[in-house]
Structure 1
Amino acid sequence: MDFLDVFFVWLGAAVVVFYGIKMSSFVKMFHPRFWFPQPASFFKSMGEWAVVTGGSDGIGRAYSFELARRGLNVVILSRTKDKLHRVALEIEESTGQKVKVIVANFTEDDIYDQIEEKLKGLNIGVLVNNVGTLPSYIPSKFLQTEDLTQQIAQVINCNVKALVKMCKIFLPGMEMRRKGVILNLSSGIACVPCPMYTMYSSSKVFVERFSQGLQAEYKEKGIVIQAVAPFGVSTAMIGYQRPNMVTLTAEDFVRTSLEYLKVGDKTYGGICHTVLGWLVQTVPKKILHSDRMQDSFLEYVKKR
């Protein structure tokens, strides 16, 4: 065989191996408990306490309950005091675990010294950076966002700065103990540039890149750091859409996503959202970013 024959044989073999590995990874997603097993005491072995930002509602509330069911005491943080205390009481009564409440508005800058002081001395093994905000529930073009200057500050503070500052507070203790889990909530729409949600989806790209880089830096220290990128979850952020095969309840999503903790530095949290992520990335950008697609997406969201 001449050089070109050899080249194409090896190229073909490389393609087969590449897609074989991809298919193998996909098949494993159907049976996470078999391929990515966790002992029942896994989360409890990380430490006595879990910290959940945005823990009074939606996905954060579901994480708070689920981690308490798995034997952890929980610290929940959000800006609504009454809702926090109500959720804390529900968790304590249903699980028997301790719950600590901290009122914190993550759209503000000067809250982190207070948070660190209130949590000093706690053995924190799990951090869930869940808190996040949308510039607008109805998608809009960047310059059409109401109160744009204020929304820029709030999105950066809540979706970006809060994540980094909370990791700065708790990562040193995990590094010293050589164990811990940090879950950073991204979004499925971060997998492609997303017009009409440009600022929000871009902030979630930061979540993914920061998480993946941090995991590379600290995985040898025994710390698991993962970006969790759901698509539809029935929460206030999407107007509590009726759950179906793709739009999950917060409780179902959290329970399922925790089974994929050892799958890698990013997970969509379930097989349906994984398939959806792959499908979205196959759509040509010319179609995805067309004016017609943007108008159709806006009408769809308004109706839902």
Structure 2
Amino acid sequence: MDLSCLEHLKSQPFWVLLLTILGSISLLKNSISFLIWVYVTFLRPAKNLKKYGSWALVTGPTDGIGKGFAFQLARKGLNLVLVGRNPNKLKEVSDEIQAKFGKTQIKTIVVDFSGDLSEGIKRIEETIDGLDVGVLINNVGISYPYAKFFHEVDEGLLNDLFKINVEGTTKVTQAVLPGMIKRKKGAIVNIGSGSAIVLPSDPLYAVYAATKAYIDQFSRCLYVEYKKNGIDVQCQVPLYVATKMAKIKRSSFFVPSSDGYARAAMRWIGYEPRCTPYWPHSVLWYLARSVPESAIDAWRLGFCLTIRKKGLLKDSRKTE
């Protein structure tokens, strides 16, 4: 800045100088934030996950994001412990992975997360005893069959949402964590949802969103508790992904395939306690923060009412 510019600034009223300084600070802050985003999104190297341990445990690995993670972890050279409720589907995905990555060792454990978890957790503990499970992907979860008002959620669905989304993730973490503490290393990834964090509300999916808010806070607390033990805990926050649970068949720029999401997600493991790995999702998150919450609430309510209408129509056709 030359002397003439300095003299010009000195001649301005104090409030003009103050606004100029504040504007410059804001511009600098936003510029730095953008550069950091570019670095962590596109340039930062992924961690070598094998340094955490040679085994990874994945829940809900037979479809969607969980299956995508299982393939990507095998690609990175990790052996797998796959935990799901359907033995036939577990065998199918195991055979698919070993056909592509022949050196991958795979153990499967049948656990019905909607039932009594005590026996299933015991089987997990027995199977991983002696294995250096360095990565845990808590992916198992369910949502509503379609949008519903809270008073329409039946007891069975309510119990499943709590059992699978909350208790399942909590107890599997509790089973795997002691080994990580003993080895002083590990990475835990819990799959959250944009419905609980990105959106100010998710009407007609209230209980699902609430269970995912639990996952977010649970993850953040464990991140702080166990960082000193060499354990990196992270909540990943995807928006829409083309999966059966989301009832989206085709992927697009803003809606990745489950494999596309998993590829992006692998690069973030071991870093921030909360992240949105698929970068177009982070753009949507930024845009959502610039819109008044009341406007997003109104849009989301209308969108979910449309889903509910289609779901009710489908149900009525089944009963005819």
Contact 2:191–2:235, Cα closer than 8 Å, also in 1: yes
1:133 is aligned, of 142, 164, 169, to 142
Deviations 1:232-287 (A, max 9, x none): 11111122421110111111110111112354111111210111122223332222
CA distance in 2, matches of 1:219, 1:167: 15
Which residue of structure 1 aligns with residue 69 of structure 2?
63
Moved more, 116-125 or 79-88: 116-125
CA distance in 1, matches of 2:162, 2:82: 21
Between structure 1 and structure 2, the one with the greater Rg is: 2
CA distance in 2, matches of 1:257, 1:112: 26
Amino acid at match of 2:98: E
Contact 2:109–2:123, Cα closer than 8 Å, also in 1: no
Give unmatched runs, 5+ long, in structure 2: 1-9, 312-320
TM-score normalised to structure 2 length? 0.84
CA distance in 1, matches of 2:29, 2:126: 49
Secondary structure of the 1:172 match is helix
Moved over 6 A (4+): 1-10, 301-304
Equivalenced residues, count: 295
TM-score normalised to structure 1 length? 0.88
Deviation (angstroms), 1:293: 4.7
Deviation (angstroms), 1:124: 0.5
Secondary structure of the 1:37 match is coil
CA distance in 1, matches of 2:270, 2:175: 24
What is the aligned-residue RMSD (CA, Å)? 2.5
1:19 aligns with 2:30: yes
1:213 is aligned, of 202, 213, 221, to 221
Amino acid at match of 1:106: F
Distance 1:293 1:173, change over 3 A: closer
CA distance in 2, matches of 1:24, 1:262: 21
CA distance in 2, matches of 1:23, 1:71: 33
Deviations 1:117-156 (A, max 9, x none): 232221111100000011x2211111122x2x22222111
Secondary structure of the 1:248 match is coil
CA distance in 1, matches of 2:309, 2:290: 26
Which residue of structure 1 aligns with residue 109 of structure 2?
102
Which residue of structure 2 aligns with residue 235 of structure 1?
243
Amino acid at match of 1:86: E
CA distance in 2, matches of 1:164, 1:266: 17
Deviation (angstroms), 1:177: 1.3
Which residue of structure 1 aligns with residue 187 of structure 2?
181
Deviations 1:52-101 (A, max 9, x none): 00011111111111101111110111111111111111111210211111
Amino acid at match of 2:30: Y
Give unmatched runs, 5+ long, in structure 1: none
1:193 aligns with 2:201: yes
Contact 1:229–1:269, Cα closer than 8 Å, also in 2: yes
Deviation (angstroms), 1:3: 11
Residues 1-150 of structure 1 mapped to structure 2, 5 A cutoff: 15-16=26-27, 18-31=29-42, 34=43, 36-38=44-46, 42-96=48-102, 97-109=104-116, 110=118, 111-134=120-143, 136-145=144-153, 147=154, 149-150=155-156
Deviation (angstroms), 1:116: 1.3
CA distance in 2, matches of 1:86, 1:183: 24
Secondary structure of the 1:260 match is coil
Distance 1:262 1:98, change over 3 A: closer
Secondary structure of the 2:58 match is strand
Amino acid at match of 2:128: L
Amino acid at match of 2:78: L
Distance 1:298 1:249, change over 3 A: same
2:263 is aligned, of 248, 255, 265, to 255
